[in-house]
Amino acid sequence: MVIETLLREKPAERYRHLVAFDSDGTVFDSMEKKQHHCYFPRFIQYFQLKPIEPIVLEVWDEVNLHSDLRGCNRYVALVRVCELLSTMQIVRVADVSIPDMTPLKEWLSIERDHTLESLIRYHTGTTEDNALPTVITWSKAVDHDIQTHRFTRLFPKAREVLESLHTRADVAVVSYTPHYLLKKQWEEAGLQNLPDSLQGQDGNGKIPNLVSIARRYRDQRHRLYVGDSIVDLEAARIAGMHFFPIIPGQEERYWQELSTKGLPRFFTGRYDGLYEDQLVMRFVDTVARNNNAGVGI
């Protein structure tokens, strides 16, 4: 694994603490921009949904930006969007066809590797006429668009915190973004030397990669994952890590909190308990309110 190799390059005894970060929506103010400039337009284009574009955008944003699926694998989100659209009466009477994502759901349930390359291999082994070729074309176009754009705007305090951590802890970035795009983003932002490792959606996926890193640090009190989604919270829990939320819409406030309260508590063994519980509760409540304020489907 790339990430294990990179972490081994730093002497194990140098730092006792690990701080890992998600990327889009956590370090970079890029979540909404990527969705609106890359993922969504290509979805409308390749699935021929222009007649109901405003409705699709509402559902798309609810799933990808405001629900508990924010930050999830792109194919998981795609399935959910199509499921929701197919239940809406206003969509049913429109002159459009919502794709049946059953084959994609089957692939997600069968395979652990949820990358484009894995999906292509899976489709190559089938002879059915289904939506998978269009999904593959959509995914390739999304990657092309991300590669040709720059998504390097950082949230306030992010660079400062990363620079300060570089001399105090092992720093990792674990994301669902394909590795080569993740590397490009951090290089273009001038941050490539701050993390000790970058791991994108290649092979194992976010949770196995996070577990692989976390197990190198025996004391659970010395592991922290910083993210902006329920997906990130669940990944941290499975990996046996503390979690610090960067709450969407309040990013500047929570980067400041991470800098002045979260990290000082983490490095002095005072992070778990009431402090972390209150942060997580606040985070989960915010996501729940956003869900309740959705498009009503």
For residues 138 and 266, what is the distance between their CA atoms, to the nearest angstrom? 42
Indicate the residue type of 26.
Answer: T
Q: What pLDDT, on a 0 to 100 scale, did the predictor assign at position 215? A: 92
Reported confidence tier of residue 1, pLDDT bands at 50, 70, 90: very low
Q: What pLDDT, on a 0 to 100 scale, did the predictor assign at position 166? A: 84
Helix or strand (DSSP H, E) at 199: strand 197-199
pLDDT at 218 over 90: no
Reported confidence tier of residue 112, pLDDT bands at 50, 70, 90: confident
Q: What pLDDT, on a 0 to 100 scale, did the predictor assign at position 294? A: 55
Q: What pLDDT, on a 0 to 100 scale, did the predictor assign at position 99? A: 95
Residues with Cβ < 8 Å from 257, sequence gap 6 or more? none
Q: What pLDDT, on a 0 to 100 scale, did the predictor assign at position 8? A: 39
pLDDT at 203 over 70: no
Helix (H, G, I), strand (E, B) or coil at 99: coil
For residues 160 and 170, what is the distance between their CA atoms, to the nearest angstrom? 16
- H helical segments located in 87-129: 89-92, 102-110, 116-124
Nearest by Cα to 264 from 114, 145, 161: 161
Angle at 55 between CA 50 and CA 59, to 5 degrees: 115
Q: What pLDDT, on a 0 to 100 scale, did the predictor assign at position 2? A: 42
The predicted model gives 228-250 an average pLDDT of 97
Tell me the domains of the chain and their CATH numbers. Answer: 2-30+154-292 (3.40.50.1000), 31-148 (no CATH)
Q: What pLDDT, on a 0 to 100 scale, did the predictor assign at position 181? A: 92
Q: What pLDDT, on a 0 to 100 scale, did the predictor assign at position 13? A: 40
Q: What percent of the chain has pLDDT over 70?
A: 93
Residues with Cβ < 8 Å from 150, sequence gap 6 or more? 188
pTM: 0.90
Q: What pLDDT, on a 0 to 100 scale, did the predictor assign at position 289? A: 85
Q: What percent of the chain has pLDDT over 90?
A: 84
Q: Find out whether 22 and 231 touch, Cβ atoms under 8 Å.
A: no
pLDDT tens-place string over residues 137-161 = 999 999 999 999 999 999 999 999 9
| Average pLDDT in the chain | 91
For residues 186 and 184, what is the distance between their CA atoms, to the nearest angstrom? 6
Tokens 């951090």 belong to residue: 186
pLDDT at 295 over 80: no
Tokens 């081994």 belong to residue: 8
